[in-house]
Structure 1
């Protein structure tokens, strides 16, 4: 099938950018699906930094990686993604990052990502993103907090300077119940250190 859901399309986009040996970020490790996908793309010579505020999510991700033999190249951090600037070494050139927002599937639905910390993490990544690097956000507007976050992220993404950033919104339009959509932010050639 040509048309993909938001998560599947995020993986498609990331696979076109990430090479073995790259440094990448999973800003919301969750149950480890994106982390494992990134670990396979960067290979044993690359590095994945995975963030989540919930210990349960970190444990789930650790198990998924270990079961697949892909844990060697992954550093998991039980902290908010907005703290990544204090955790990832300053000389790391980040090739790509993924956010899968909302709440932990099968977890506590009261613990959700918030627009202020998501945007702070996004800005930190933009400052360190490789030329032609990519950030993808899978956004879930189908619950009240998710709708607030979606609106804030769309407002943020729309104001990014087109000289430095290409911004894409990808969504399936004829599904009920506010399905997830994707925002992709790509650094233009030669647009280093321009977060706005």
Structure 2
């Protein structure tokens, strides 16, 4: 049995979800691990958009993608994820992610969030409740039928609990006829362990 860290838990569902040709979004690139995973799963016909407010994170992500030879399949934006729709609309390739299907659903297969701060980065640049909620709302509008949003919610230490509490309250209120929200927990781990979760567009 693997020692499941939160990212491993989320990756299992992402790997089951994303297929060749899919559109994907990494809303918090960090060091680029999730961005690379999405690119590989979406294949040569897919496209991934990545967002991070920190230049350090953007450069690390771009370097990781170059080393893997998949930089042509991704567009990286150095901005907050709450500007997701705005940035996608301005990029000729990413505009396709904003298109609606005939039944009114979005076109994106998977959106990945890691809430908190960049490992090894400045803790005062952690994601914030208000902008994170804005980004999740935009992501919900972009999801295709059966699409998923993967959530890794970190709290405590320098980042506090405001963002976690705001996200959990918001997720609890989502329309159960449109979305299925599944939250898990590392139940016996001390010191405010991270919370993994999924949102599935029904």
| TM-score normalized with structure 2 length | 0.89
- Separation in 2, partners of 1:119, 1:109: 19
Q: Which of 102, 125, 128 is 1:114 aligned to?
A: 128
Question: What do the CA deviations read for 1:15-45 (whole angstroms, capped 9, x no partner)?
Answer: 1111011000000001101101111110121
Query: Structure 1 stretches of 5 or more lacking a match?
Result: 189-196
Question: What do the CA deviations read for 1:128-170 (whole angstroms, capped 9, x no partner)?
Answer: 2100000011000132534111111100000111111100111
Q: Which of 136, 147, 150 is 1:136 aligned to?
A: 150
Query: Structure 2 stretches of 5 or more lacking a match?
Result: 89-94, 100-105
Corresponding residue for residue 161 of structure 2: 147
Question: What do the CA deviations read for 1:30-62 (whole angstroms, capped 9, x no partner)?
Answer: 110110111111012100100000111110001
- Separation in 2, partners of 1:83, 1:146: 24
Corresponding residue for residue 62 of structure 1: 62
Corresponding residue for residue 83 of structure 1: 83
> Which structure 2 residues correspond to residues 1-196 of structure 1 after superposition, within 5 A?
1=1, 4-88=4-88, 89=95, 90-91=98-99, 93-188=107-202
CA 1:10–1:146 in 2, change beyond 3 Å: closer, same or farther? farther
- Separation in 2, partners of 1:111, 1:18: 30
- Separation in 2, partners of 1:8, 1:108: 24
CA 1:104–1:176 in 2, change beyond 3 Å: closer, same or farther? same
- Separation in 1, partners of 2:142, 2:21: 17
RMSD between aligned residues = 1.3
Residues 26 and 112, structure 2, Cα contact 8 Å, conserved in 1:
yes
- Separation in 2, partners of 1:128, 1:99: 14
- Separation in 2, partners of 1:3, 1:18: 23
| TM-score normalized with structure 1 length | 0.92
